[in-house]
Amino acid sequence: MRGAINAGVDIARGEFLMRTDEHCLFDQGFDKKMTDVCQPNWIMTATRYFLDPVKWEVMTEHQPVKHEKLVIQGGKKFSGVRWPERDDANKDTPISPTMAMQGSCWVMPHQWWKDVIGELQTEGYGPLYQDSHEMVFKTWKAGGSLMLNQSTWFAHKHRSFSRTHNDGTTENPANKEAGWKYALDLWRDYYEKEIRPQWQI
């Protein structure tokens, strides 16, 4: 996945980049609603609903995901978790900072990728996972922000439906935890000493 994203960016020519999973549904005008407000040093995601990929419909029985807090889940990996307190505090704010996102859909200026992200690293991380956290850490380090656009939405395939991709890393194909550990080893100090205090968590 990481290599595929890098390859796509290499041939992209637009002012903005958008990365999405193939099993996503979008609000009408999603692209314009995102790019019209996206600033030069932002990565932007949107309200995330859950998709029934058989009916190709939003699963209205599930509450959408909005703001996410970045945590170390189970002492093993960086992960985003729902942040209801921040949802409440920003319910009337169309665009607001957030700490984490699912990597299934984001938009950013192409120049920001060139100047700051560079590429998604495969050494250590492996071919999958932790990509959104890598981009967010690099963005924060460069003075940028991860923003949630609540004025639009996308819907991503719900976990109850079968997955279509594999797990693991090049270094240890049977164990995706190798990539999780690499990300923790690389970024944990920065997260604990600089990011958590800034967000007061």
Instruction: Return the closest-CA partner of residue 45 out of 66, 23, 59, 21.
Output: 66
Give residue limits of the domains in the chain.
Answer: 2-163+177-199
CA angle 147, 56, 34 (to 5 degrees): 20
Instruction: Show pLDDT as tens, one digit a residue, over the chain (201 residues).
Output: 899 999 999 999 999 999 999 899 999 999 999 999 999 999 999 999 999 999 999 999 999 999 999 999 999 999 999 999 999 999 999 999 999 999 999 999 999 999 999 999 999 998 888 999 999 999 999 999 999 999 999 999 987 777 665 554 455 554 688 899 999 999 999 999 999 999 998
Is the pTM for the entire model greater than 0.95?
Answer: no
Contact 156, 23 (CB under 8 A): yes
* Count of other CB atoms within 10 angstroms of residue 155: 25
Q: What are phi and psi of 34, to 5 degrees?
A: -85, -55
Alpha-carbon distance of 115 to 119, in angstroms, equals 10
Rounded-to-integer distance, Cα 129 and Cα 2, Å: 8
- Supply the CATH classification number for the domain 2-163+177-199: 3.90.550.10
> Is residue 61 a contact partner of residue 131, using CB atoms and an 8 Å limit?
no
